[in-house]
Amino acid sequence: MPFFSVVAGSTYVLLCGVLLPVYLRFIYIFLSKKKYRSLRCYRIMVQMGIVQCLSMAPGFMLFGIAMILQYDPYGLANFFIALYPGGLRIEAVLGLVLALNRLEIICGFRPSRMAYLTLAIIAWMFGLTYIAILHTPYFGYTVSPKDFMPKYDPDKGFNRELQHYGYYVYAAPMVITLFIYIYILGYLIRLRTTHAGKIKRQERTIFAYAIIKFTMEFSLALGFNHYPFPHSPAFHFAMSLGLILSTMFLTPALYFALYCNLRREFFNFQSECTITVRSISS
């Protein structure tokens, strides 16, 4: 049994196993508390969180188990890993929806409610269609216990075309999101220089979260798709770690760093437990 494969597989399982409950805890807080779920920005962030947890954690945990065992039991790793490319495309469009929301709150732009709904539906349709396509006999996104990162199956004849057009589905909303954030930054700079008004701290925090997360993910997307990386087990292992951390660690880390109240709520389990005391009459 290759030692490096066991180390890499164990790392994938451990990282996803530790980070998943942390991420789910934040999603639970957003869903369970009205002050969060009543705001559109948090509802968008919940959708993005659910997509990231479902598309990353099961596939890479099962991939890690397959690397340790040196075979894929029942083909589960290959089934669940195919959720990841579709999840990326859902998240890219939802990121555009979040940017549109920041444009509305900070700059006063008023998109219709239907615009938000339409973009959210498009996001899920693109992603789910992509996942369904990858599970057909003509396309494939697979893992092998001997490899250290997932890849498009070279034996499937139409994967090159899927990668080509799928890249534009992924990149187009990210480019639009980039231009929106550049506009918002320009607006904030003008607001600061003219002393025309102030943005609420909560809105500044949400914007900081959105733009930091977008910058990291956009940089990774550029690097993975346009930079010729060396083909070595160690580098593929590092790339897989980068995928896991950017998906499962970055968002919770930003929540911890930027949201003081959310940080306190994360550790406050007592207020969520209701104790009923009944009097017993003799």
Q: Write the DSSP assignment of 112-153 as a string of letters.
A: -HHHHHHHHHHHHHHHHHHHHHHTSTT--EE--TTSSS-EE-
| Region 107-131 average pLDDT | 92
Q: Which two tokens stand for residue 105?
A: 């709150």
Q: What amino acid is encoded at 203 in this protein?
A: E
Say which DSSP state 272 is in. G
Q: Is the pLDDT of residue 281 over 80?
A: no
In contact, 119 and 40? CB cutoff 8 Å: no
> For residue 185, what pLDDT is reported?
86
pLDDT at res. 276: 40
| Backbone φ and ψ of 232, nearest 5° | -140, 150
Which of 29, 14, 27 is closest to 54 using CA atoms?
27
As given in the structure block, the two tokens for residue 258 are 């930027």
Residue 110 is inside which H or E element, if any?
A: none
- State yes or no: pLDDT of 273 exceeds 60: no
pLDDT score of 275 more than 70 = no
Does position 73 have pLDDT exceeding 60, yes or no? Answer: yes
Q: Dump pLDDT digits (tens) for 188-237.
A: 888 877 766 666 767 778 888 888 888 888 887 777 666 667 778 888 89
For 274, which DSSP code?
-
> Domain boundaries in the chain?
3-272
Q: What is the dihedral sign for C-alpha 133, 139, 143, 147?
A: negative
Statement: residue 238 has pLDDT above 80: yes
pTM check: above 0.85: yes
Class of domain 3-272: mainly alpha
Residue scoring higher pLDDT (145 or 274): 145
Residue 177 near residue 168 (C-beta atoms within 8 A): no
The single-letter code of the amino acid at 221 is A
Report pLDDT digits (tens) over 6-55.
999 999 999 999 999 999 999 999 999 999 999 999 999 999 999 999 99
- The contacts of residue 52 (CB under 8 Å, 6+ apart) are 23, 87, 91, 247, 248, 251
By the 10 Å C-beta count (0-12 exposed, 13-18 middle, 19+ buried), 66 is classed as buried
pLDDT of residue 152 exceeding 70 = yes
Query: Of 55, 35, 27, nearest to 246 (Cα)?
Result: 55
Q: Are 121 and 169 in contact (CB under 8 A)?
A: no
Mean pLDDT is lowest, of 21-30, 54-63, 179-188, for: 179-188
Mean pLDDT of the chain: 87
